[in-house]
A and B are shown apart, each in its own frame.
Chain A
Amino acid sequence: MNCVRAGCCTVSLWCWMVGGGCERPHPEQHAAALSLDSPAAAQALFDSNCRGCHSQGAEGAALPLMNKNYWAIATDAVVVQAISHGQGRLMPAYIDSEGGPFTAQEIALFVKGMRSAWGAGAVGRGGGVSPLIVAGDPALGAQVFAESCASCHGSQGTAGSVTDQMYLRLVSDQGLWSSVIYGRCELGMPAWDDALPNRPSGLTVAEVAHVVSWISSQRVAAHDGSATP
C-alpha cells in the first residue's frame, strides 16, 4: 500500500514539474525584465553591459550615451537597431537571435528606460539633423574638411588623422556620422552645431553629410579580407 502511495506522489510530482517547466527558464532575466523601462533599472543594465565603452563626459572610448545631447537627436529606432544588431566592427549585437543576452522586447524597454534616465529635457534640441546617416557629396565634403576640420585633423593638427586606413576600417559610416554630429566637447571635438574654424555657427545639415561622405570615400578596401564596416 505504501508503495502505491509513494508511486502516486512521484508521478504527480513529475507531472507538476514537467508540466510547469515547459517554458525554458531564464533565471537571470526574470527579475530584470519586470521594470526594465524604469530609469534605475536601465542605469543598472547600462552600467554592467555598456558603460565599458559608452559612458559620459570625457570618460570612455566610444560615444558617450549618458547625456541629453545624444538623446536629443537619436531616435529610439536608431538606438534599438544599434543595440540589437551591433554597429561597425566593435559594437556587439545584443539580441538573443544573434547570440546576445536580450530579447527584442527587453531591448525596447531598455531603450525607453535610458531615454527616461538621460533624455529628460532633450526634446526638440536636435536642430533638425538626422540621427541616421544621410548621403552627401564627397567633393563638397573635401572643401568643408579643408576649411573647418583640417586645422585639428590635418597633418599640422594635434587631434590625429581621421583618414587613417586602420581607423577607417574599424568605424562604420554611421559611426563617423555620429562622431561628427555629437562631437565630444570634453575631449576637444566640437559637435556639428558648435563653432568651428571658418564656421562660427557650426555646419549645416548638408555639410555634415558632405564631410562624412568625404571621410568615408577615403577608405580603401582591406587587403587581408577583414571586413570593412
Chain B
Amino acid sequence: MKVLKASLGWIEERTGVVAFVAPLLFHHVPRNAKWWYVFGSATLMFFTIQLVTGVCLATVYAPSAAQAWESLNYIDNHVPMGWMLRALHGWSSNAMVVMMAIHMLQVFLHASYKYPRELNWITGVFLLLTTLALAFTGQVMRWDQDAYWGLGIGAAIADRIPLVGDEVRALLLGGPIIGGATLNRFFALHVFVLPGAAIALVGLHMVLIIKNGISEMPKPGAVVVPSMYRKEFEERMHKDGVPFVPDAAQRDMVFCGVCLIGLVALAAFYGPFGPGGMPDPTIIDTNPRPDYPFMWLFGAVSLLPPSSETAIMLIAPAVGVLILVALPFMSNSGERAPSKRPAMVLIALVTVMAIAALTWEGTTSSWSPVMNGWSSLPTPVKFVRGRTPLEMQGAVVFQFAQCRNCHSLDGLGGKRGPELDDVATRLSYDQLVRQVQQGGGNMPAYGKNLDSAQTAAVVAFLATLHPANEPDSRIPGAQLSVPTDNATAR
C-alpha cells in the first residue's frame, strides 16, 4: 500500500495525472440524475467496443479489392471466434447509433442543451455525423454486393451535386468508378480519419461535461437564466450533489452491463453481417438497401417523385444538420421541463415516428427490387419461344445480371424500373445498348460489369421484346452498332 502510494505520488508529482483524473471521477452530479442519464455512458461503451473489436479486425482484414471479401470469410470461418468479433463489431455499430439517438432524444426532451451546454450539444451533433459516417464506411468494408450498392447510391448522390459533382465523386471513389482505389480510400477513412475525429470529439464532449457539469432533472418553473445559472448550479451541486463515483457510475455500470449482455446475445444469435453475395464486386446486386442507420433516408427517397429526388437528397440532410446545430442558439434559456415545452415534445414525437415509419417503408417498400427475382422467376414462355440461341443466352443474362429484380416481364419481377414486355417498341438497338451500358435514372450502369458478349446477348434479347403484331425498332438503320469487341473493350 505504502509503495503504491509512494509511486503514485512520484507519478503525480511529475504528471499531475491524479489531479486530472480525480475530478473526472468524483465531480458532483445532481442527486436526482437517475436512470435517465445512462444512455450517454452506454453510447461510450459501444464506442469503446467498436475501437477494441475494430483494432482486432484490422489485424486480419485485407483492405484490397481482391482480398477483402476473402479475409472476412477467413475471419468468419477460420479464426477462432472470429465470427463473434465481426458480429460484435457489426451489432455494436448499430447499437451505438440507436443508443446515441436515444441519448440525443433525452437531451432534447430535457432541454439539456440550454445554457451553458450549447457546445456539449454541438459536439454531440458532430459525433452523430461522425458515427453515421463510420457506419457507412464500415458497410463498404464488407466489400460485398451490399457495400457495392451503398457506394453506388453514395456516388449517385455525389453526382447530383451541381457543378462539382464529378469531382466529389472522383474524390470519394478514387476514380470515376468503384474500384480497388475506392476500398483503400474508405479503409483509410474508416480506420484512421473517422475514428480519430470521433476520439477527439468524444474527448471534447467529456471535457465539456466536466466543465459544465451534468444538468439536473428539469423541474417546471426552474428556468435557465444564463446570467445566474452557473453560479447557482455550482452552489446546488456543492450542497446537494453526489460524487459521480460511485453514485451515478453504479447505475451507468448496471445499464452498460445489461446492454453488453444484449449485444452479446444478438451477436451470438444472429451472427455477423455478411459478407453477403458473391465475392465479385463487379456483379451488381440489385438490392440498393443501405444498412439500418440509413434506411429511413432511403425510405424517404422512395416516396418522393423522381423529379424532386435530387433536391431532397442533397438539401434535406444539410438542412437537418443545420437545424440540429442551430438548436441551442435558437433557445438557450428559459424552461427545461417537457411539460412546459409541449411543442418540442411534439416535434420529438413526430421525428421519432417519422423515422420509424420511413425505416419501415425503406425495408418493405413495394417499388424496391424483388430480391430473388433473378433466381426465382423464369422467363415466360412467350419470351422464350422462337428465340435464337444468342437471344436465349440474352434471356439468361437478363436473369444472371439481376435485371429481373428491377424489371418485370409479363407482370412478374421488380417494379423499380419499367416493365420491359414491349421495350423494343420504345427503344432502338442503339438506345438499348446505351441504357444497359450507361444506366441512367435509378438504373445502375452495367458498362464494365457485362462484357461485350453478355451485352450483345442481353440486348439481342431485349430487341425481341415487342408484341407480335407490332414492328420492333430493329427497323432500317437501327441495328448499326452491334457491340463489338472494340466498342466495349475500353
B375 touches A160 (CB 8 A): no
Within 8 A of A (CB), among B320-376: 372-376
B244 → chain A, closest Cβ, in Å? 18
- In this assembly, does A187 line the interface, its C-beta being within 8 Å of a C-beta of chain B? yes
- In this assembly, does A124 line the interface, its C-beta being within 8 Å of a C-beta of chain B? no
* Given A24-B76, A62-B396, A89-B454, CB of A13 within 8 Å of CB of B261: yes
- Which listed residue, B83, B375, B387, B393, touches A49 by the CB 8 Å rule? B375
- Which listed residue, A6, A13, A51, A90, touches B396 by the CB 8 Å rule? A90
A20 touches B268 (CB 8 A): yes
Within 8 A of A (CB), among B68-91: 69, 76-77, 81, 83-84
Chain A residues near B (Cβ < 8 Å): 6, 10, 13-14, 17-18, 20-22, 24-27, 47-55, 57-62, 89-90, 92-93, 98-100, 159-162, 164-167, 169-171, 179, 187, 222-226
- In this assembly, does B157 line the interface, its C-beta being within 8 Å of a C-beta of chain A? no
B489 touches A225 (CB 8 A): yes
A52 touches B376 (CB 8 A): yes
- In this assembly, does B378 line the interface, its C-beta being within 8 Å of a C-beta of chain A? yes
A114 → chain B, closest Cβ, in Å? 15
- In this assembly, does B385 line the interface, its C-beta being within 8 Å of a C-beta of chain A? yes
A190 → chain B, closest Cβ, in Å? 14
B59 → chain A, closest Cβ, in Å? 19
B376 touches A51 (CB 8 A): yes
- Complex CA gap A70/B83 in Å reads 40
* Given A52-B375, A225-B489, CB of A27 within 8 Å of CB of B389: no
B381 touches A57 (CB 8 A): yes
Closest to B460 in A: A166
- Complex CA gap A99/B397 in Å reads 19
Chain B 150-190 interface 0/1 with A at a Cβ cutoff of 8 Å (1 = within): 00000000000000000000000000000000000000000
* Given A52-B404, A92-B400, CB of A24 within 8 Å of CB of B271: yes
- Complex CA gap A14/B415 in Å reads 46
- Which listed residue, B376, B389, B398, touches A160 by the CB 8 Å rule? B389
- Which listed residue, A52, A59, A171, touches B399 by the CB 8 Å rule? A52
Within 8 A of A (CB), among B109-124: none
Contacts of B398 in A (CB 8 A): 61
A61 touches B384 (CB 8 A): yes
- In this assembly, does B310 line the interface, its C-beta being within 8 Å of a C-beta of chain A? no
- Complex CA gap A24/B393 in Å reads 38
B268 → chain A, closest Cβ, in Å? 3
Contacts of A167 in B (CB 8 A): 389-390, 393, 453, 457
* Given A52-B376, A58-B385, CB of A224 within 8 Å of CB of B452: yes
A154 → chain B, closest Cβ, in Å? 13
B375 touches A48 (CB 8 A): yes
A170 touches B393 (CB 8 A): yes
B452 touches A162 (CB 8 A): no
B372 touches A59 (CB 8 A): no
